[in-house]
Chain A
Amino acid sequence: GENVEQHPSTLSVQEGDSAVIKCTYSDSASNYFPWYKQELGKGPQLIIDIRSNVGEKKDQRIAVTLNKTAKHFSLHITETQPEDSAVYFCAALSSGSARQLTFGSGTQLTVLP
């Protein structure tokens, strides 16, 4: 099955700086890669996703890049703000018979004012 590894597990940045979270996946047939943000006491919420036919996608201050050859994808947050502080999860959807989202272990991002 799919295996998704996520790094770092914790990340602290100064307000206004950029934050980068990286994930690798094992199943070369995976073709959909969403990122979820989980605020304290809430359920995860989709913030951006990318399909395997593109290499990069942007939405205001967040962007995701995908390198299919290397089987890794990254979340980039620019001009970080305190409200960006949360746990971020990457995930991968394989195209095999067991098509389920496999989540990474999460990154606790803290934006320091």
Chain B
Amino acid sequence: GAGVSQSPSNKVTEKGKDVELRCDPISGHTALYWYRQRLGQGLEFLIYFQGNSAPDKSGLPSDRFSAERTGESVSTLTIQRTQQEDSAVYLCASSPKGSGIAGELFFGEGSRLTVL
């Protein structure tokens, strides 16, 4: 498909375990974003990639969270030693334009993380 693809769509894990969430952006999109959406709440910015560099990591909640991106392709968001408050939907979005340039973000359907 031509859209942003995220996996897994659902992940249930035990407190203290590490999880990896994957995002495949739309081909050719240079900018990639990760957002967190807690139940019934808005979108909380986590991190942004331009190509494979991350000029803005300001939204990462703690050092348990990290992300990387290979070239202008796949990105993984890793949460170490998961806590119950990490339970949320993690949304990835991509854009053909760089951050700070007005334009549409194309979102994936998200990865729902539940930490027991």
In this complex, what residue of A is CB-closest to B112?
A: A41
B41 within 8 Å of A (CB atoms): yes
> Measuring CB to CB, which residues of chain B are less than 8 angstroms from any residue of chain A?
4, 35, 40-43, 45, 48, 56, 58, 91, 93, 99-100, 102, 104-105, 107-110
Q: Give A89 to B43 CA distance when docked, in angstroms.
A: 9
Q: Give A36 to B91 CA distance when docked, in angstroms.
A: 14
Task: Report yes or no: B42 in contact with A101, Cβ–Cβ below 8 A.
Answer: no
Residues of A within 8 A of B42 (CB): 6, 89, 103-106
Residue among B56, B58, B91, B105 with most chain A CB within 10 A: B105
A67 within 8 Å of B (CB atoms): no
Task: Report yes or no: B91 in contact with A102, Cβ–Cβ below 8 A.
Answer: no
**How many whole Å from A48's CB to the nearest CB in chain B?**
11
Q: Give A51 to B110 CA distance when docked, in angstroms.
A: 28
Residues of A within 8 A of B4 (CB): 43
Q: Give A59 to B56 CA distance when docked, in angstroms.
A: 33
Q: Give A49 to B97 CA distance when docked, in angstroms.
A: 16
Show 26 residue pairs from A and B whose CB-CB distance is below 8 angstroms, ordered by the A residue. A6-B42, A31-B102, A41-B109, A43-B93, A43-B107, A43-B108, A44-B91, A45-B107, A49-B102, A49-B104, A93-B102, A95-B100, A98-B56, A98-B58, A100-B48, A100-B56, A100-B99, A101-B45, A102-B45, A103-B35, A103-B42, A103-B43, A105-B41, A105-B42, A106-B41, A106-B42
